[in-house]
Chain A
Amino acid sequence: MAAAIETKKLTKSYKSKAHGMVDVVSDLDLHVEEGEIFGFLGPNGAGKTTTIKMLLSIIEQTSGEGYVLGHELGDVEVHKVISYVPERPYYYEYMTGMEILKFYGSLFGITDTARMDMLLEKVNLHRDKTKTISQFSKGMQQRIGLAQALLNDPKLLFLDEPTGGLDPIAHREIRDLILGFREEGRTVFISSHELSEVELICDRVAIINHGVIARQGKLTELLKGGRVELSVTGVDKGILSGMSIGDGNIHDTPGGILFDVPEEADINSIIDGVRANKGSVLSVVPRKKRLEDLFVETVTAK
């Protein structure tokens, strides 16, 4: 699959009075494939927004190289086929939803009002198109942001904290829209702190910490290593300790015995073993590794 974004040793340094040259982003090797939803995660000040600004050619990299949809960083031509919705976006408050679309459309030379109507309908703002932005809720502002971002039918969308500060209903609306973008074949690059949201919608993620990519890959692979807890009763612990449970553990509990085993362990053979010894399986609870666990583990690692 072709790369929508590819960076090689991308670095951004700033002069600091106290520390001299400081790398905000250092030797960033990023690979985002076309048509995927990519989560770009990191704690505050990790270098997420600086990276996005470099990818959008709003700021210039200090060293390294990068390509967005095959265009070298700095080539404004690519702006015709990409879009960006910043964190907590501000739009001219006196404008109505329709006027916002007309304004951003005019930056591309787009005057097709039928398309603008269609976009307002897509983000469920068609009934509010005559309201001014000052009358919009946060969720509506985020949705008009997405509508303006779709004006040029972009192949790649950059969304900075798209669900930040929104209520659960607005969360779901934005999430559904983003999932719809993938179905339409667009690539979505999301920078977010909402890890549960990212886990639900992203195909691959990268975790940046102190300006360096600490983890990058498919979510399914990064989240491997979950555990399964089996609660059993009516059997002797000594008999069970002979079973093959890898790096699993066996604990006594008030109600019986608890197996804590890796998710790749042969759960069926453990269950068979328990039953063969006249025991009962009370519960089998998979403890999936969460993105939050991976994130905390990554950013706190020394």
Chain B
Amino acid sequence: MFKPIIAIAKATVGEAIRRRVLLIILFVAVILLFVAPLLGVLSARQEKTVLTGFVLGIVQLSSAVIAITLTVYMLPNEVERRTIYTILSKPVQRYQFLVGKYLGAVAALALMMGLMACVTLLEFGIIQHDWPKGVELLQGISMFFVQMSLLASVAMCLSTFVAPLVNFFLSGGIYLIGTLGYAFFDSFNKNPNAPVYSKALAWFVSTILPNFASYNVQNKLINPEVQIQNPLQYSINAVVYGGFYIAIMLIAGMLIFDRKEV
């Protein structure tokens, strides 16, 4: 059961880390991470605070673009290039193919985010002489990794029935709403005085769409005075939520993909 999944995942990683568009995004992100300290100097605010925010912003944005770009073309490309037929004519079930592709995408994402994390650590440790801050940022980046894995599962699920370009904007839109608008919609949903239709929309967004916001740890890292009461419990909850949501997305994707005419 697992051998085909692992083989497909490995092949997916091999392809993903050679995709020029992803390498360009990664290259730009790494360059920006290197020049980030210069921008901190130019800022009127506390230099390290600006640098931390900027670095996390670069990692998050570039990882999100990589996660979406990586996954939206994954299944359509396999169909277009007919690779899927040679694979599905072997003793491979469709769900194994889908899971293998997803795990490959997540592994490739881990490699690329790992590179950005290394650059961040070196930057804070060697250039800024602040290893503890660097290590703290790594924790933030690892939360981003869970967030991006969740985003990749959403894009992967959508790719089973939506065209790549539509999927790109749809996944991007879901990510933006789930990141920036989640808290707003959640409070709206809980407001008893809100109109019914607005509440319905707010309920949909805050219940059905994934809560990407819980992985955004910039606030605490940028402003140390902001405290999470039990950080470990918070992280565990966020990871469990992510794992649960990823499982739902993959199961939905499998069910759709299983009936899809390829």
Contacts and interface: CB of A to CB of B under 8 A. Distances in A.
Interface of A: 14, 53, 56, 58-59, 76-77, 79-80, 82-92, 94-95, 103-104, 106-109, 145, 148, 152, 158
A106 B41 CA distance: 53
A88 B81 CA distance: 9
B119 interface: no
A132 to B, nearest CB: 10
Contacts of B8: 107
Interface string B16-43: 0010000000000000000000000000
A106 B91 CA distance: 10
B86 A86 contact: yes
B45 interface: no
Contacts of B7: 103, 106-107
Given A84-B85, A106-B4, A107-B4, A94 B90 contact: no
A4 to B, nearest CB: 15
B11 interface: yes
B91 A92 contact: no
B241 to A, nearest CB: 33
Interface of B: 3-4, 6-8, 10-11, 14-15, 18, 81-83, 85-93, 261-262
Contacts of A107: 3-4, 7-8, 87, 90-92
A235 to B, nearest CB: 62
B4 A87 contact: no
Contacts of B15: 92, 94
A103 B104 CA distance: 14
Interface of chain B, main secondary structure: helix
Given A90-B83, A94-B14, A83 B3 contact: no
20 contacts: A56-B89, A58-B89, A76-B93, A79-B91, A84-B85, A84-B89, A89-B82, A89-B83, A90-B82, A91-B86, A92-B11, A92-B83, A94-B15, A95-B14, A103-B11, A104-B86, A106-B3, A107-B90, A109-B3, A145-B86
A298 to B, nearest CB: 28
A84 B81 CA distance: 15
A56 B83 contact: no
Q: State the majority secondary structure of interface residues on A.
A: mixed
A158 B90 CA distance: 12
A84 B4 contact: no
Q: Which of A87, A94, A106 has the most CB of B within 10 A?
A: A106
Most buried by A among B7, B81, B83, B90: B90
A59 B262 contact: yes
A85 B14 contact: no
Nearest to B18: A94
A264 to B, nearest CB: 44
Nearest to A102: B7
Q: Which 5 A-B pairs have the closest CB atoms?
A: A106-B7, A90-B81, A84-B89, A107-B90, A86-B82
A58 B262 contact: yes
